[in-house]
Structure 1
C-alpha cells in the first residue's frame, strides 16, 4: 500500500473489504479511522471525503457483510422450501465463517450490536432496525415451517423465532472458543431437533 495515500482512482470495493476485516477483528469501538487509513493506504482526509465519518463507513461495511452472510438466505426462502435443512445449512455455514482460518471472530453484526445498543443516534437506530428486521423475518420463517408441518401446529412462531435468534447469537460467542465446526454443527442440529424439526 502507498502510505502517503492512494490516487483518486482507488478501488472502493477493495477498501470496503479491508475495512470490513478490520472492524471484524477489532470491533467498532476499538478501531480508529487512523488505523483504517494506515491499512488501506488512504489518508484520513480521503476516507472522510469518500465515506464520511466512521459511523457511515461502518454502516456501509455492515451492509456488505450482511449481504454476503449465510443468514441472508433466510430473506429469500421460496414457498415449499424445507426450513429445517435450510436452517441447519445456514447455521453450519455461519459457524464456519465465524471461525474462518482459525481467527474465531464470531459474528461482526452481533459483536458490534452489543457495543452500539445504547447509542441514541443514527448508527444505534440503524443497528436496532437491522436486528428487529431479522427477528421479524425469523418469525415468518418459523410460520412457514408450521404451515408446512415441519413444526408442531401449536408452536408459537414468535417464541420459536426468538429462541433461534438467541441461539444464533450464542453461536457467535461460542465460535470464539476452540470449538470446531463439526461440534458446532452437532450443536445446531441438536437445537433444531429440540425445536421440533426432523432433520
Structure 2
C-alpha cells in the first residue's frame, strides 16, 4: 500500500521559493531545503525531483503567485497608457518596500544562473518575452486609442521598459535609495509622453 504524503506540497513549494529567493540557488543546499521545509530528503526528491527541478518549480510558483500579474494589469480594457505607467510605478514602489532586498526572483535567477543553465535561460526568456509582449500590446492599444503618438515604435518602447524594469529590480537590491528609484522611474515614464 502506498504511503500518503505527510506534508502539503504547495506549502513546501512556497517555503522552497522563499529560501531560494532569499539565498539564491547556489547558496541553498539540499540539506538547507530539508531543514527549512521539514521534509525528509527522500520525500523531497520523490515529490519535486532534484534541487534544480525544485528550483524551476519554485520559479514557476513565483510567477503564479504574483499579484497583481503584470500581464493581467496590462491587458485590462480601457485606457492602456495608465496601465503601463501603473506598472512602472508598481515595480518602483514594490522595489522600495522590499526591506529584505530580495529583488525579483526572475532577475535573481538570470543574474545567478545565466549563461550556462539552458532550462533557466528558457524560463527567464519566456517570462521576459511575455512581459515584453504584454507591454507591446498595451502600447499598440494606446496608439489606437490616441493615447500615444503614432510615430512611436511600441515594440522598441516595450523593450526599453522591460530592460528598465528588470534593471530597477537589480538596483533595488543595493543600498536603499528611494529617491534614486523614483527619479529613474519618472525619467523612464517621460518616453511615453
1:28 and 2:25 correspond: yes
Q: Is the 8 A contact 1:99 1:106 kept in 2?
A: no
**1:164 counterpart residue number:** 161
Is the alpha carbon distance of 1:121 and 1:175 closer, same or farther for their aligned partners in structure 2, counting shifts above 3 Å? Answer: closer
Give the alignment's TM-score, normalised by structure 1.
Answer: 0.81
Q: Which runs of 5+ in 1 are unaligned?
A: 1-6
SS in 1 for 2:69: helix
Tell me which of 15, 33, 49 is aligned to 2:12. 15
Whole-Å Cα distance in 2 between the matches of residues 98 and 46 of structure 1? 35
SS of alignment partner, residue 152 of structure 1: coil
Mapping 1:160-199, distance limit 5 Å: 160-176=157-173, 177-180=175-178, 184-192=181-189, 194-197=190-193
Q: How far 1:10 sits from its partner (Å)?
A: 0.9
Distance 2:49 2:182 in 1: 40
Q: Distance in 2 between matches of 1:90 and 1:42?
A: 38
Give the aligned partner of residue 115 of structure 1.
Answer: 112
Q: Distance in 2 between matches of 1:125 and 1:75?
A: 22
Separation in 2, partners of 1:72, 1:52: 28
Q: Could you say what secondary structure the match of 2:160 adopts?
A: helix
Q: CA deviation at 1:113?
A: 1.4
**CA pair 32-110 structure 1, distance change in 2 beyond 3 A:** same
Q: What's the CA shift for 1:138? A: 2.1
Q: Distance in 2 between matches of 1:72 and 1:54?
A: 27
Which residue, out of 65, 70, 81, partners 1:73?
Answer: 70
Write the mapping of 1:89-168 to structure 2, written as runs, cut at 5 A.
Answer: 89-100=86-97, 102-119=99-116, 121-168=118-165
Uncovered stretches (5+) of structure 2, i.e. residues with no partner: none
Partner of 2:50: 53
The C-alpha deviation readout for 1:169-193, integer Å capped at 9, x for no partner, is 111022123123x76345423321x
Q: CA deviation at 1:109?
A: 0.4
The structure-2 alpha-carbon separation of the partners of 1:86 and 1:111, relative to structure 1 and needing over 3 Å to count, comes to same
- Residue aligning to 1:84: 81
Please give the per-residue CA displacement for 1:12-56, whole angstroms capped at 9, x wherever unaligned.
222122111111111223222221111111122211111111222
C-alpha distance in 1, partners of 2:53/2:88? 29
- 1:32-82: CA deviation from partner (whole Å, max 9, x where unpaired): 222111111112221111111122212221122112325623245133x22
* CA RMSD, Structure 1 to Structure 2 (Å): 2.4
